[in-house]
Chains A and B, each alone.
Chain A
Amino acid sequence: MAAVTLDPLSAPLPHTGVLAQPAPSPVLRVNQLAVTYYTDLGRARALDDVSFTLNAGQKLGMVGESGSGKSTLALAMMRMIKPPGRIEGGEVFVGDTELMGLNEEAMRRARLSKIAYIPQGAMNSLNPVIRIGAQMVDAVKAHLPGESRAAIQDRCRQALRSVDLDPGVFNMYAHELSGGMKQRVCIAIGVLLEPSVIIADEPTSALDVVTQCQVMETIDRVQDQIGAAVILIGHDMGLMAQFVDRVAVMYAGRLVEISSVREMFTDPKHPYARALISSLPNLDNRGVFQGIPGLAPSLLRIPSGCAFHPRCPFAMDVCTTVRPEVLELAGGRRVACHLFDEEARHG
């Protein structure tokens, strides 16, 4: 495993304002991205003005309650939101290219070559009746119009090798592979065109710990080779602690905190992040279940003010009426909570 960047200052976070000039130019900038699902029961604001940046080579962990909008965020960045969902606004820059403004054809080419998404449950979406190799070739051939079929196949075999799979897997079917092998095939497809951003949505949640370890090492290694930035979406805080540099926490469609992994685990700021960290199991508190009381809010009726206020032990009057904006604290970590209004003003 690569060493984790523990010093928050070594990875300064730019302001998210559109005009702010980031110091080491980030490879990914997401500004005010918003998605709504128009359901029969009403409008569900699944993603509410989410902004963050990521530098080349950085690993960001994206955590948050089930249904908080993590997969929606990934799909929106890929412009893969399907009706009844709609991207309501926002920008996504990969390098200098702004994805939301591209025409369909240019966006199709940007997928996989600039930004790749390994979807939740990807390994179950491999086609059972088509050989792995043919599926890989299919995924990339449109991106490589000038290349011969043999050259593309070579590339695919190379990609399999880069995720530690025998090139013979090229001729096999999905059911002949274990879960971990299938997941590595999906990663191989994701990295084939050496994108600058890789989004992996729960890549290991169906795998055992030993295989998990192998898959994460694989991601780590290919990331090193191609210098990509990685967004790891997941629930496993253990995995996050072992793998990412920074952690972003989502709640009800908003980013409520983004901090270095060390800050997040030792001194989480947002009350939801604190509750999440204290719900983690360890060997000393067997049988103690510290779930966060209350239910996640309905996206159809997001509570006024701070969406967490009905469940928050620190809620104040202001929390029920005024929505907390994302504020930057000393050291570059960011948090959206009224408890830090003062600190941010003076910091």
Chain B
Amino acid sequence: MAELLELRGVSKVYTRGLTHSHPTVALREISLTLKEDEPTILTVAGESGSGKTTLAMLLLGFISPTMGEILYKGRNITTLTGPERLAYRREVQAVFQDPFAVFNPFYTVDHLLTVPIKRFKLASTRAEARARMEEALNAVGLRPEDVLGRFPHQLSGGQRQRINVARALLLKPRLLIADEPVSMVDASLRATILETLRNLQRDYGVSIIYITHDLTTAYHIAKSIIVLYRGGVMEAGDVDRVIKSPQHPYTQLLVDSIPWPNLEQRWGEQSIMARESTAPPPGACPFMPRCPKAMPVCASRPPLFQINPHQAAACYLHERQPQLVAEKLSELLPA
């Protein structure tokens, strides 16, 4: 069975922080496989600074891993050249986090959408190009006449974010990396865009890596989830199990912090310790300084323990369970 994407023990260490004299491990030994014939939606969740965007940048080939390798259809992405590279560039698309930063302020929306059409020859006539553009804009709830011809600063935050999604839809990629694609739109539109993404996966076989801190949308769209903290996998598995019954204290904190649109369910009863002040001792469980259940054994980094066929957590509270070698992580994740 062919693999679409494979990460083998990928780590990313930043050494050139301007002020941090010590290196930052932004991602630690991640192994992951997405199969070509089993398109899926995988959520990567975790708080700010947990390494989510780093993972996206690695997958897009914008930065290269410090250790390990990333294969796309069996080929290391750093060595792709010529037509293979172009195919990879087209087949792997991204929707980025910050709609305020990504657009060149001097280009109109038309320009942003026609460039990929031309570059990847998606249309043979002007009329066809226009039709594809309109189709993509409609899919994200935008009226072409409202946005075409405009500059980014003339659009609302949510409109900009949707232009991003429309651009990705236009290209019908094999793999879509969506980094917080709906953080700035209302609940109704959020539902519409997420449904569009899910249909993309279901009807066009596009695999999606959905990067978010929003566990409620993750729960609705994804099949599986990986929870990162300080670059390491804390918990992974079937999204239903992980969110309804989190087994790692960090996931429990995240789930507890979800602001539910429900007046009877009050917010965050657990008191929260700021992340900034909580660097773990070297070699320890990264969550130890914030963990209400920390024990002496936590001074060494816990491996993943498999709790059931579709859930594992890196926490000594589960040390009676069989260990899961990191390379087998993907076997937990339902397609």
Contact = CB atoms under 8 A, between A and B. Distances in A.
Given A211-B275, A242-B259, A289-B191, 17 more contacts: A65-B188, A71-B156, A205-B183, A205-B184, A206-B98, A210-B253, A212-B257, A212-B259, A235-B158, A238-B260, A238-B261, A241-B263, A265-B262, A265-B263, A281-B191, A282-B216, A295-B143
Interface string A4-39: 100000000000000000000000000000000101
Interface of B: 18-19, 46-49, 97-98, 100-101, 138, 141-143, 145-146, 149-150, 154-159, 161-162, 180, 183-192, 194-195, 198, 213-217, 219-221, 240, 243-244, 253-254, 257-263, 266-268, 272, 274-276
A133 interface: no
A292 interface: yes
A222 interface: no
Contacts of B191: 279, 281, 289-291
B146 to A, nearest CB: 5
A283 B219 contact: yes
A257 B191 CA distance: 22
A310 interface: no
Interface stretch (A95-103, A175-183, A339-347): A175-183
A200 to B, nearest CB: 14
A219 B326 CA distance: 41
A286 to B, nearest CB: 6
B157 A242 contact: no
Interface in A157-201: 164, 172-173, 175-176, 178-181
A346 to B, nearest CB: 29
A276 B266 contact: no
Nearest to A71: B156
From B18, B156, B187, name the one whose CB has the most chain A CB atoms within 10 angstroms: B187
A52 B150 CA distance: 31
A281 B146 contact: no
Contact of A120 (B157, B187, B214, B275): B157
Contact of B272 (A124, A213, A239): A213
B154 A39 contact: yes
B259 A40 contact: no
Q: From DSSP, what is the main secondary structure of chain B's interface residues?
A: loop
A280 B187 contact: yes
A313 interface: no
B149 A41 contact: yes
A63 B188 CA distance: 11
Interface string A63-79: 11111000100000000
A281 B216 contact: yes
A282 B48 contact: no
Contacts of A172: 19
A241 B184 CA distance: 17
Given A66-B189, A120-B157, A214-B272, A176 B146 contact: no
Closest 8 CB pairs of A and B: A66-B158, A208-B213, A291-B192, A238-B259, A208-B47, A289-B195, A209-B257, A291-B191
20 contacts: A65-B188, A66-B156, A67-B155, A164-B274, A173-B18, A176-B19, A209-B258, A209-B259, A211-B48, A213-B257, A235-B190, A238-B260, A238-B261, A241-B262, A242-B259, A279-B188, A287-B198, A287-B221, A289-B195, A291-B190
A286 B187 contact: no
Contact of B157 (A173, A202, A279, A295): A202
Contacts of B213: 207-209
Interface in A253-306: 261-262, 265-266, 275-277, 279-283, 286-292, 295-296, 298-300
A92 B252 CA distance: 45
A280 B261 contact: yes
Contacts of B258: 209, 238
B100 A124 contact: yes
A206 B46 CA distance: 13
Contacts of A287: 198, 220-221
A216 B314 CA distance: 30
A325 interface: no
A344 B39 CA distance: 53
Given A212-B257, A240-B261, A280-B261, A300 B145 contact: yes
Nearest to B100: A121
Contact of B259 (A39, A65, A241, A291): A241
A243 B143 CA distance: 33
Contacts of B146: 67, 298-300
A48 B145 CA distance: 21
A236 interface: yes
A330 interface: no
A242 B220 contact: no
A277 B188 CA distance: 9
A249 to B, nearest CB: 10
B47 A213 contact: no
Contacts of A173: 18-19
A210 B261 contact: no
Contact of B159 (A39, A67, A237): A67
A243 B259 CA distance: 9
Interface in A38-84: 39-41, 63-67, 71
A291 B214 CA distance: 18
Nearest to B157: A120
